[in-house]
A and B are shown apart, each in its own frame.
Chain A
Amino acid sequence: ELKVEQNPLFLSMQEGKNYTIYCNYSTTSDRLYWYRQDPGKSLESLFVLLSNGAVKQEGRLMASLDTKARLSTLHITAAVHDLSATYFCAVDGSGSRLTFGEGTQLTVNP
Chain B
Amino acid sequence: GAGVSQTPSNKVTEKGKYVELRCDPISGHTALYWYRQSLGQGPEFLIYFQGTGAADDSGLPNDRFFAVRPEGSVSTLKIQRTERGDSAVYLCASSPLGGGSYNEQFFGPGTRLTVL
* A33 cross-chain contacts in B, Cβ below 8 A: 104-105
> Interface extent on B, as a size class?
20 to 34
Q: Would B103 and A31 count as touching, CB distance under 8 A?
A: yes
- A42 beta carbon closer than 8 Å to chain B: yes
The answer, yes or no, to whether A15 is at the interface (CB within 8 Å) is: no
Which residue from A35, A42, A95, A99 sits with its C-beta under 8 Å from B45?
A99
Q: Which of B67-116 contact A (CB under 8 A)?
A: 91, 98-110
Interchain CB contact (< 8 A) of B98 among A4, A42, A95, A103 = A95
Contact yes or no, A96 B99, CB < 8 A: yes
Residue A57 interfacial (CB < 8 Å): no
Interface of A is mostly: strand
Residues of B within 8 A of A4 (CB): 42
- A106 adjacent to chain B (CB < 8 Å): no
Query: Assuming A96-B56, A96-B99, A97-B33, is B42 touching A45 (CB within 8 A)?
Result: no
Choice from B41, B55, B106 contacting A102 with Cβ under 8 Å: B41
Decide if B42 touches A100 in the complex (CB within 8 Å). yes
Interface size range of chain A in the complex: 20 to 34
Within 8 A of B (CB), among A51-110: 88, 90, 92, 94-103
Instruction: Give the complex CA separation of A100 and B45 in angstroms.
Output: 9
Question: How distant is the Cα of A101 from the Cα of B48 in the complex, in angstroms?
Answer: 19
Is A48 interfacial (CB 8 A cutoff)? Answer: yes
Q: Which residues in A have their C-beta under 8 angstroms from that of B109? A: 41-42
Interface residues of A in 24-61 (CB under 8 A from B): 31, 33, 35, 41-45, 48, 50
**Residues of A near any B CB (own CB < 8 A):** 4, 31, 33, 35, 41-45, 48, 50, 88, 90, 92, 94-103
Given contacts A45-B105, A45-B106, 17 further A-B contacts (CB under 8 A): A33-B104, A42-B109, A43-B107, A44-B107, A45-B107, A88-B42, A88-B43, A90-B42, A95-B98, A96-B33, A96-B103, A98-B103, A99-B45, A100-B43, A100-B44, A102-B41, A103-B42
Which B residues have a C-beta under 8 Å from some C-beta of A? 31, 33, 35, 40-45, 48, 50, 55-56, 59, 91, 98-110
